[in-house]
Amino acid sequence: MTWQPSASLASLREAASLRRSIRSWMDQQQVLEVFTPSLSRAAATDPHVLSMATRDGRFLHTSPEFPMKRLLAAHAAAAARIHGDSALPSQLQLPELSALPDIYQIATVFRAEEGGRYHNSEFTLLEWYRVGMNHLQLIDDLTALLKHVWLAFGLRWPGLQIKRYGDEVQQRLGCWPEQLDTALIERYFLDQGRSYPQAIGDDVDAALDLFMDEFVLPDFDADAFTVLMDYPVSQAALARLGKDAQGRAVAQRFELYYGQTELANGFHELSDAAVQRERFEADLLKRRELNVEPVPIDENLLEALASGLPDCAGIALGLERLHMVIGRHSHISEVICFDDQRA
Amino acid sequence: MANYGTNEFKGGLKIMLDGDPHSIVSNEFVKPGKGQAFTRTRVRNLKTGRVVERTFKSGETVESADVMDTTMQYLYSDGEHWHFMNPETFEQLAADKTAVGDAALWLMDEAVCEVTLYNGEPLAVTPPNFVEMVIKETDPGLRGDTATGGTKPAHMETGAVVKVPLFIEEGEKIKIDTRSGEYVSRVK
C-alpha cells in the first residue's frame, strides 16, 4: 500500500532526535542557523549533479552552498566596512572579523536521476561553514559533531580513520591518479575478473569513481568512520588546490564514509572568483561532452567571491545516510516517511 | 527493437548482451556524490543459465531481447524433443534438451508450463510450481512412523528422485514443489 509511510514510527523518532542533537551542538558552538532559497535562477554546473528545472525556468537547488557562501562574503564585506578597511591596523580588525558568525543549514535538496538503496531524489543536507578553518581543522570539527551525535544516541564511538586518495590508488595500481589512463584501470578490472563498462571511454575520473567503489571502499572498516582526503586535482570541484606530504598537487577536499557509505563532502573552499569561473566553464564543456543539459552559471556567487569570501572550510553531510548508519537501516526508504516511490 | 536505458533496469527485464538474451536478476544504483553514476547488475544468460556481474555507465542503453513467456501444455517426449501445445491456438512446438534442462524431471501428461520463447524458438521451460506424481520405487514404508521426521529417497516415473517421509509407500501419489524438488504432501 503506497499511501502508508515507508519509515516506521521508531525511525521517525530517530530522525527527529538526530536533528535535535545536531542543533544542540551547533548552538553550543555558536554556529548560526540560516535559511536560504530552494529555488534559483542559476544551478550547480557539476556534470554529475543534475538539477530539476521548474516550469518558470528556475532550478531546485542541489545543495545550499552558493547562497551560504554569498552570506559569508556579505558578512565579511560588512565587517570590513565597519572598520573602514585600511584605516585600522590589521590586529585591531581581528576581533571584529573573528566575530563573523559561522553558519549552518539543514536543507531539503533535490537531485534528478538518483534513486536506489542509498539515493532518494529529495533528501536532506546538513551544510556548515567555518570561517578561518582549513579542511584539516574541519575534519576535527566534523569528528566533534559526530561524537556529540553518537553520545546523544548512547552509541559507542566506532573510531575514525584517515586515508589518502592518492595512496589508495598508488597501492593498487602502482601509480598516482594523475599518471593514470583508462587502459591501465580497465586492465586492473579485467585482471580482478570484474566487469568494466566500455562506455567510460577515455574519462579517467569516471573510471576512478568506479575503481574506488569496486576496490577501495570495500577495504574500509565496515563498522567505523573513514575520512578519504587529498583528492585528485581533476576532481577539485569547489576546493582549493594544495600540496600533499610528497609535494604532489592535490585538491584540499575530503569525504566521510561509514563502512562503504559516503556521508559527507568537505572542502577548504576556493575563494578565487576567476578560478571558480574557469571551473564552472570546464564543467559546462564536460556537460556538452556527456550530452548533459547546460545550466546558467551562478553569477551572484562569482560576484560574492570577487568581493571576498573569508578563508573558510565547508561541508555537506547527508542526514538520511547518517540516520541509516545510526539506526542500522539497510534502505534509504526506511528513514524517509514517504520515499520517492510513495511521494 | 526497443532500447532500455539504465534507469529502466529492473529485475526480470530481458536484454541483449554480447549477442545472447539475458534476464536482469538484480540491479544496484552506484554513485559517488560528486562523481559518475553506474548501474551494477547481475544478469542471467538465458541460453546457458550462467549468472554474471555486469556494470553499466548510467545513461547507457541496451537492446531489448525478443523474449516472451507463454503458457503451454506439455504433450509428450519422443526421446529427443519435448512437445508442447498452445492451449488457445493449438499451435505446437518442440523444445530440445538444452531448453528443457532439469524441467524434464517434472514433465507429466498435460502439465501446464511456462515456455520462454526467443525469436519464436523455445529457450527455456519452467514446469508448474507443484506437480503430483506416483512413486515408482522406494524402500518399504515404516507404518505409523509419522513422528521421527526421517526421510528416504523415492524414484518417480520421470526419473526424478525426491526425499519422502518414511511412512510413504511405493505406488502412492505425492505432491512435489518443483522449485525446490521437495516433497509437500500425500495426495489421496
Tens-place pLDDT, residues A17-26: 999 999 999 9
**Shortest Cα distance from A222 to chain B (angstroms)?**
18
**Type of residue at A283:** D
Q: Which cell numbers in the block locate residue B149? A: 521426521
pLDDT-derived band at B98 (thresholds 50, 70, 90) equals: confident
How many CB atoms are closer than 10 A to CB A330? 10
| Mean predicted confidence (pLDDT) in A161-175 | 97
Question: What is the chain B residue with the closest CA to A113?
Answer: B7
CA distance B50 to chain A (A): 15
Say what the pLDDT of residue A248 is: 95
Residue A255 and residue B57: Cβ atoms within 8 Å?
A: no
Cα–Cα distance for residue pair B123/A40, rounded to 1 Å: 54
Q: Cβ distance A17 to A152 under 8 Å? A: yes
Compute the mean pLDDT over every residue in chain A, rounded to the nearest whole number.
94
Average pLDDT over residues B164-173: 91
| DSSP classification of residue B139 | P
* A2 has a pLDDT exceeding 90: no
Round to whole Å and give the CA distance between A324 and A9: 14
Nearest to A48 among B35, B56, B60 (CB): B35
Contact B56 A262 (CB under 8 A): no
pLDDT for A42-82, tens place per residue? 999 999 999 999 999 999 999 999 999 999 999 988 888 77
Residues B31, A235: C-beta atoms closer than 8 Å: no
Helices (runs of H) and strands (runs of E) counted in chain B: 1, 16
- Which of B3, B7, B9, B36 is the best substitution to test chain A (most A C-beta atoms within 10 A)? B36
Alpha carbons A63 and A69: distance in angstroms, whole number: 12
Q: Rounded mean pLDDT of A125-139? A: 97
Q: DSSP letter at B56?
A: E
Q: What is the dihedral of CA B170, B173, B174, B179, to 10 degrees?
A: 110
In percent, the amount of chain B with pLDDT more than 90 equals 72
pLDDT tens digits, one per residue of B139-161: 887 666 666 678 899 999 899 99
Q: Which three cell numbers stand for residue A314?
A: 565547508
pLDDT (0 to 100) of residue B56 = 97
- Predicted confidence at residue A85, as pLDDT, reads 54
- What pLDDT is attached to residue A97? 47
Nearest CA in chain A to B6: A113
What is the three-class DSSP state of A69? helix
Search chain B and give the residue with CA nearest A204.
B36
Spatial separation of the C-alpha atoms in residues A154 and B74, rounded to whole Å: 62
Taking the C-alpha atoms of residue B26 and residue B48, their distance in angstroms, rounded to an integer, is 18
Q: Report which residue type is found at B172.
A: E
Worst-scoring range by mean pLDDT, A124-128, A267-271, A329-333, B123-127? B123-127
Q: A212: which chain B residues are within 8 Å (Cβ-Cβ)?
A: 32
Nearest CA of chain B to the CA of A78: how many Å? 33
Q: What are the structural domains, with CATH classification, of chain B?
A: 3-63 (2.30.30.30), 67-126 (2.40.50.140), 130-187 (2.40.50.140)
Mean pLDDT for A226-245 is: 95
Tell me, rounded to whole angstroms, the distance of Cα B112 from its chain centroid.
13
**pLDDT, chain B, mean:** 91
Q: Give SS3 for A19.
A: helix
Which pLDDT value is given to residue B144?
63
Cβ <8 Å between B35 and A237: no
Q: What is the ipTM of this complex?
A: 0.89
- Is B37 part of the contact surface with chain A (CB cutoff 8 Å)? yes
- Do A176 and A247 form a contact (C-beta atoms < 8 A)? no
State the CATH architecture for A9-159+259-335.
2-Layer Sandwich (3.30)
B53 in reach of chain A (CB within 8 A): yes
Closest alpha carbon within chain A to B56: A197
B57 contacts chain A (CB < 8 A):
yes
Which letter does DSSP use for residue A213 in this model?
Answer: I
Which of A92, A90, A93 has the alpha carbon at shortest distance from A78? A93
Buried b (16+ CB within 10 A) or exposed e, A57-73: ebbbbbbbbbbbbbbbb
Q: Report pLDDT digits (tens) over A83-114.
A: 665 554 555 444 444 467 899 999 999 999 89
Instruction: Report, in angstroms and rounded to the nearest whole number, the Rg of chain B calculated over CA atoms.
Output: 21
- CB of B55 less than 8 A from some CB of A: yes
Percentage with pLDDT > 70 across chain A: 95
Spatial separation of the C-alpha atoms in residues A297 and A51, rounded to whole Å: 13
Euclidean distance between CA atoms B74 and A141, whole angstroms: 70
Q: How far apart are alpha carbons A335 and A337 in whole angstroms?
A: 6
Secondary structure tally for chain A: helices H, strands E: 10, 12
Q: Which of B33, B52, B57 sits opposite A265 (nearest CB)?
A: B33
With CA atoms as reference, the chain A residue closest to B36 would be A206
Tell the burial category of A319 from Cβ atoms under 10 Å away from its Cβ (0-12, 13-18, 19+): buried
In the structure grid, which three cell numbers stand for residue A122, read together? 529529495
Select from A272, A232, A275 the least CA-distant residue to A255. A232
Report whether pLDDT(A178) > 70.
yes
Q: Does A213 sit within 8 Å of B34, measured CB to CB? A: no
Contact present, A252 and A137 (Cβ < 8 Å): no
Give the side-chain half-sphere CA count within 13 A for A214. Answer: 24
On chain B, the residues whose CB falls within 8 A of the CB of A290 are 59
- pLDDT, residue B33, reads 87
Q: Max Cα separation, chain B?
A: 69
Per-residue pLDDT reduced to its tens digit, A23-43: 999 999 999 999 999 999 999
- Determine how β-strand A160-164 pairs with β-strand A225-231: parallel
Q: Which of A195, A197, A265 sits opposite B34 (nearest CB)?
A: A265
CB burial of residue B5 (10 Å; 0-12, 13-18, 19+): middle
Helix (H) or strand (E) holding B137: strand B130-138
Instruction: Label residue B151 exposed, middle or buried (CB < 10 Å: 0-12, 13-18, 19+).
Output: middle
What percentage of residues in chain A have a pLDDT greater than 90?
Answer: 90
From A115's Cα to the closest Cα of chain B, the distance in A is 7
CA dihedral of residues B114, B120, B122, B123 (deg, nearest 10): -100
Per-residue model confidence as pLDDT tens digits over B4-55: 999 999 998 999 999 999 999 999 999 998 999 999 999 999 888 899 999 9
Q: Measure in Å the smallest separation between the Cα of B55 and chain A Cα atoms.
A: 6
Locate the chain A residue with the closest alpha carbon to B27. A116
**Distance from the B139 Cα atom to the nearest Cα atom in chain A, whole angstroms:** 48
